[in-house]
Amino acid sequence: MRRLPGTLLVPAALLATATSALADSDRPGPGPEVVAHRGASADAPENTLAAADEALAQRADAVEIDVQRTADGHLVLVHDATLARTTDVAQVFPTRANAPVGAFTLAELRRLDAGSWFSPASAGERIPTLGEFTDRLRGRADLLVELKGPARYPGMEKEVAYELDGRRGVVVQSFDHDVMRSFAEAAPEVPAGWLFDGRPTAAQLDDAAAHGVTQINPSFEVVDAALVAEVAARGMQTGTYTVDDPDDMRRIAATGVDRIITDRPAVLRTVLAG
């Protein structure tokens, strides 16, 4: 998926996603927003309903998830290009253990155990659809949706937009900036984020701002107060991933970032409160 196949018509209800589901007065503590990475993935299998429940229990402001598309057109939550790490695909489909996620139908994915790899207590967890995951949150936390490998799924950004129609507090992001440029041009009212492996250059920040990006989300290893200021000067916010060590949490919070993505939202919440 490199370009939208035509104009993306966004329903009026989707424009409400620009408003956060949690007003500042409703957030449990001061400082940056606490974003649960793939759910509270240190304490539950990533990208599952159990991870959503745990993120809510740990008072996350938002939940970050990864979205891909099945062979029959369903949007599902999986991070990796294959199912080998986080499911029992090698046992259920031994000849297809390394096949891409998009080669499986939803019915086939329903047969997989997406929890046993994490712990015996998590056995039986299934790969949820995007709709099932958002229904589980029920507006109790915002949602940060990463388009995972979108070049493999032409048109997926349009499908994600319509799936999230009417949901408040949603941001769509990707490492694929070509796709995000197209997304921002076609649906400028939908908050968009650009992910970076390294430190974004001034030219990249200018490019993002010119395409209506609202969030710049690089690795925490490259984030400092100077970068946060550069991003803010262009009218955007800074998030960062994936911060799990308390000392790193304190350092990153001191830079003035707007949100921190972590596998351990309860730990981050405690650090911020302290």
CATH number at residue 165: 3.20.20.190
pTM over 0.85: yes
Assigned domain for 111 exists: no
Angle between helices 246-254 and 265-273 (to 10 degrees): 60
Question: What pLDDT score does 172 carry?
Answer: 94
Local confidence pLDDT in tens for the 274 residues of the chain: 222 333 333 333 333 333 344 434 345 455 899 999 999 999 999 999 999 999 999 999 999 999 999 999 999 999 999 999 999 999 999 999 999 999 999 999 999 999 999 999 999 999 999 999 999 999 999 999 999 999 999 999 888 888 887 778 999 999 999 999 887 776 677 799 999 999 999 999 999 999 999 999 999 999 999 999 999 999 999 999 999 999 999 999 999 999 999 999 999 999 999 8
Catalytic pick among 37, 74, 177, 211: 37
In this structure, is residue 103 part of a structural domain? Answer: no
Catalytic residue among 74, 79, 177, 211: 79
- Give the range of the structural domain holding residue 225, as residue numbers without chain letter: 15-83+128-273
User: Exposed, middle or buried: residue 245 (CB in 10 Å: 0-12, 13-18, 19+)?
Assistant: middle
Is 120 contained in some domain? no
Classify residue 190: in a domain, yes or no: yes
**Any domain includes 31:** yes
Question: Into how many domains does the chain fold?
Answer: 1
Question: Do the beta carbons of residue 185 and residue 158 sit within 8 Å?
Answer: no
> From CA 131, how far away is CA 154, in angstroms rounded?
20
CA nearest to 226, candidates 199, 207, 244, 193: 199
Does any domain span residue 99?
Answer: no
> Looking at the domain assignment, is residue 39 inside a domain?
yes
Does residue 212 sit within a domain? Answer: yes
Which among 190, 219, 218 has a CA at the least distance from the CA of 204?
Answer: 218
Active site residue 79: yes
